């Protein structure tokens, strides 16, 4: 479902008594993968491979691949890349 649709979730940021919303997109995962693989010496998420980003029909149903994409190491790597300014927040 995350491949097809964006996820809109509330954030802790409020302005004028309105709750802010963040949007998670599959393109964010792809952008992270591309920037993470530019340095061959250190990878934040070494478990991510091309099959995670472009799964075939059978791979889309595998929970293992989904768990690897949405893992703590990928999230931590994305936060690190955002803090370095390599990814947009």
H, E, C per residue of 9-31: EEEEEEECCEEEEEEECHHHHHH
Instruction: Report pTM.
Output: 0.77
Predicted pLDDT at 23: 85
Predicted pLDDT at 1: 82
* CA 53 – CA 82 distance, rounded (Å): 20
Q: In a structure prediction context, what are the per-residue pLDDT tens digits for the chain, which is 89 residues long? A: 888 888 888 877 666 776 778 888 888 889 999 888 888 788 888 888 888 888 888 888 888 888 888 889 888 988 888 888 888 77
Predicted pLDDT at 14: 65
Predicted pLDDT at 15: 67
């Amino acid at each position: 479902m995350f491949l097809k649709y964006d996820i809109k979730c509330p954030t802790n940021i409020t302005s004028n008594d309105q709750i802010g919303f963040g949007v998670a997109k599959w393109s964010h995962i792809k952008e992270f993968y591309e920037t993470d693989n530019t340095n061959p010496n250190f990878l934040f998420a070494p478990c991510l491979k091309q099959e995670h980003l472009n799964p075939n029909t059978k791979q889309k149903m595998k929970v293992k691949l989904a768990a690897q994409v949405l893992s703590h190491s990928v999230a931590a790597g994305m936060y690190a890349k955002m803090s370095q300014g390599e990814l947009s927040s």
